[in-house]
Amino acid sequence: MPDESGKSLIKLNHLALIVDDMDAALRFWGESLGLSAAGERRTVAAESVEIAFLSLGDARLELIKPTSDDSGVAKYLAKKGPGMHHVCLEVRDLEARLAELAEAGCELINDKPRERDGRRYAFVHPASTGGVLLELYERG
């Protein structure tokens, strides 16, 4: 049931995995399991990562591979090994959601929306979510 706050409109946007072997990950999720590509595999030089997206129903699976040894993602991979990195949920009115979460005592990594390419997002710390790095995202 829709509610006035818009909270009920939350949906999964993507799941992000950090992988140490992009070819092997694409072979598994793409060729063997059969998820179709959702965009080009590409390098994001500014973040020192290579990424690829696959379709997962109306959400996506993001594969992230570090391309240098000193990025945050590379350090995460070195420390924790490959696997789930974050869950991204699509919300309405991101600013209001963040204010509500802060009010409820949640630990926000970004207490205001960040913006890139017209895309607004903010991360919630795993300490508040039960151990999962959570990205909240609002369509532009």
Q: Among residues 46 and 104, whose Cβ is nearest to a copy of itself?
A: 104
CB atoms within 10 A of CB 61: 19
Min separation Cβ 130 and a copy of itself, Å: 4
Nearest Cα neighbor of 87 from 118, 124, 36, 43 is: 124
Alpha-carbon span 130 to 22, nearest angstrom: 28
* Residues of the shown chain interacting with a copy of itself in the complex, contacts defined by CB under 8 A: 1, 3, 5, 7-8, 10-12, 15, 17-21, 24-25, 27-29, 31-36, 56-59, 63, 81-84, 87, 89, 97, 100-101, 104, 106, 126, 128-132
Task: Give which of 133, 58, 140 is closest to 92, Cα–Cα.
Answer: 140
Contact (Cβ atoms closer than 8 angstroms) between residue 121 and residue 58:
no
Q: Which is nearer to a copy of itself, 32 or 118 (CB)?
A: 32
Cβ nearer to a copy of itself, comparing 79 with 117:
79
